[in-house]
Structure 1
Amino acid sequence: MALINPKKKEVQVKIVYYGPGRGGKTTNLEYINQKFKSRIKAEMVTVKTYGDRTLFFDFLPLDIGSINGYDIKIQFYTVPGQVKYNATRKLVLRGVDGIVFVADSMGLRREMNIRSLQNLEENLRSFNKDLSRIPLVFQYNKRDLAAHNIALLPLETMQQDLNAKLNAPYLEASAITGDNVALTMKKIISITIGSLKKKLEEK
């Protein structure tokens, strides 16, 4: 659940970009950081390993205005894709309000996408959370690679593999070119804020 500070009249919303290693999670945040620089009040924080891979997370705060007199602060995180850092992935997921699952469209990454989604569901269960009850957007990344004669998974296959049961919103995208990156971000913010408003009204 989002952190609500009644004194500051502020709501902190946590959105996590999840998915297999090298799928484009960090590239998404780097694009958002550049595109929305004027609304970002702090530097993007990245903790990397040897070889320039994300070890812990990328963190990017974004100010999106106010709802019902409360300032809404969005905090974006990514998780490391490598299997050996699962404890870190769990840690970053704690208190998550919304998730973007960044799937890799390359044909040879099909199994990695499926395993990563299973891992997400397992990690959420450790917090007694169900993925089907959390705001979620699928981003099918690297669609631009078709122009470079790289074999991509058909959209129908990715939908069947990842989204058949969840039936969440999805977008085809390219984090490198920025195609649909901002739209993915706006979609997950919209769904997450809508879900939080509903929860607050119920309370």
Structure 2
Amino acid sequence: MALINPKKREVQVKIVYYGPGRGGKTTNLEYINRKFKKRILNEMVTVKTYGDRTLFFDFLPFDIGEIKGHSIKIQLYTVPGQVKYNATRRLVLRGVDGIVFVADSMDLRREMNIRSLQNLKENLETFNKNIFNIPLVMQYNKRDLADEGIPILSEETLQKDLNSRLNAPYFQASAIRGDNVAATMKKIIALTVSSLRKKLQ
């Protein structure tokens, strides 16, 4: 649940980018960090694990108003994608308010996407959270690889594998080019803030 700081009259909202290793979570945050430099309050923090990374930074969006007279501060996090860092992933999910699931569109990553989504569901359950009740946006990343002749999964396959039951909003994206990175982020912020407003009423 979002942290409310009555002294600062601020609501801190935590959004986590989740998904398989090398799927583009870090690239999403790096793009946001460059593109919205003026709205970012501090340096992006990178915690490196061997061969993987966890990132986070505070993001200050405007034009989303207030919650009960409190200003809104967004924190964006990524989790390490590799299976061996599951304890870290679980730790990063603690207190999460909204999630972007970054799926890898490469054909050969199909099974990893499915396993990673299942892992997200299980890790949320350790905090008594249900994947069906949390603000969630799907991002089908690396669509640009099709231009290089690399086999990618169709939108239909990704939807069937990952989103047929969840029915979450989704975007086809290329984090490396920035396609739909901002749109994904804006959608998850809007869903999360709307959900928190309802809870706090």
Is TM-score (shorter-chain normalized) higher than 0.5? yes
**What percentage of residue pairs aligned between the two structures are identical?**
74
Q: Please, which of 58, 61, 75 is the counterpart of residue 55 of structure 2? A: 58
What secondary structure does 2:152 align onto? coil
Tell me the CA shift for residue 70 of structure 1: 1.2
Partner AA of 2:199 in structure 1: K
What is the TM-score with the length of structure 1 in the denominator? Answer: 0.96
2:46 partner SS: strand
Q: TM-score, normalised by structure 2?
A: 0.97
1:60, CA displacement in angstroms? 1.3
Structure 1 alignment gaps of length 5 or more: none
AA of the residue aligned to 1:64? P
Q: Which residue of 2 aligns with 1:86?
A: 86
Q: Distance in 1 between matches of 2:123 and 2:39?
A: 32
State how far apart, in whole Å, the 2-side matches of 1:63 and 1:104 are.
28
Per-residue deviation at 1:50? 3.8
Secondary structure of residue in 1 paired with 2:138: strand
| 1:131 alignment partner, SS class | coil
Whole-angstrom distance in 1 between the partners of 2:157 and 2:198: 33
The Cα of 1:47 is off from its aligned counterpart by 1.0
Following TM superposition, the consecutive aligned residue runs of length 4 or more in structure 1 with deviations greater than 4 angstroms are none
Deviation digits for residues 65-86 of structure 1, max 9, x if unmatched? 4414311110000000111110
- Alpha-carbon distance between aligned partners in 2 of 1:50 and 1:165, rounded to the nearest angstrom: 35
Task: State the distance in 2 between where 1:49 and 1:40 align.
Answer: 24
Kindly provide the amino acid, as one letter, of the partner of residue 180 in structure 2: N
Q: Partner of 1:41 in structure 2? A: 41
Give, in whole Å, the separation in 1 of the partners of 2:166 and 2:100: 13
How many angstroms apart in 2 are the aligned matches of 1:162 and 1:100? Answer: 13
Quote the residue 1:152 is aligned against. Answer: 152
Supply the distance in 1 between the matched residues of 2:119 and 2:49 (Cα, whole angstroms). Answer: 21
In structure 1, distance between residues paired with 2:104 and 2:37? 26
Is 1:98 matched with 2:95?
no
Which segments of 5 or more consecutive residues in structure 2 lack a partner in the other structure?
Answer: none
1:49, CA displacement in angstroms? 2.9
Other structure's SS at 1:73 match: strand
Distance 1:119 1:192 in 2: 21
**Match of 1:178?**
178
